[in-house]
Amino acid sequence: MNRLRGLPGVLLLRSLLVVILVAILVALFLDRSEELSRQVRQTAQQQTLARINAALALYLLQQAGAGRLQQLPAQEGANPFELLIRGGVLTAPDYRGIGLADDPPLREGWYFDPQRSVIFYSDGEGGRSGVWRLKLRFDDRNGNGRFDPGIDSPVSLGMKKAAG
């Protein structure tokens, strides 16, 4: 072994092997950290949607209690954040990061697209992760395909996945 230490290039070879091993470990770490970041963003989106749907369920109960079920069909496609703030279910600081998508979003966050009547999550680089639309679900007792407050009963008011 002592004979190898004196050979030219052995130190260089050892150094090269260490650099290659470190590069492989860094590549593995970066790949795993990107996957974890994606999972964290996806979980945060799911939690936000669950909170929105819970708040919309409360809004639906408030509307039923106040005798305003006939106004529900007009809410389809509305900005759910504004609807919930206007209805007193949420306060503005609860969703202060919501923007309007008139232009391509420049930062990561939730946006409402008024032309398409959908909300979406932007990664801040032009990509959209999920698109949802506010939808009234009801028991269509008379089979006409539209909500009639005196006949049909609302099942839920919530976010439904929309085409991207």
Residues of the chain with pLDDT under 70: 1-8, 91-106, 124, 164
**Reduced DSSP (H G I as helix, E B as strand, rest coil) percent helix, strand, coil of the chain, to 5:** 50, 20, 30
First to last CA, the chain: 64
Half-sphere exposure of 140 (CA within 13 A, CB side): 8
pLDDT of residue 24: 92
pLDDT of residue 46: 86
pLDDT of residue 109: 76
pLDDT of residue 5: 57
Buried b (16+ CB within 10 A) or exposed e, 59-89: bbeebeeeeebeebeebeebbbbebbbebeb
pLDDT of residue 99: 62
- Domain ranges for the chain: 2-161
Structure confidence by residue, pLDDT tens digits, 80-121: 888 887 777 776 655 555 666 555 566 777 788 888 888 888
Tokens of 47: 């939690």
Q: State how far the Cα of 141 lies from the Cα of 153, in Å rounded to an integer.
A: 8
pLDDT of residue 100: 60
Whole-Å CA distances, 53 to 56, 81, 103, 116, 155: 5, 11, 27, 20, 13
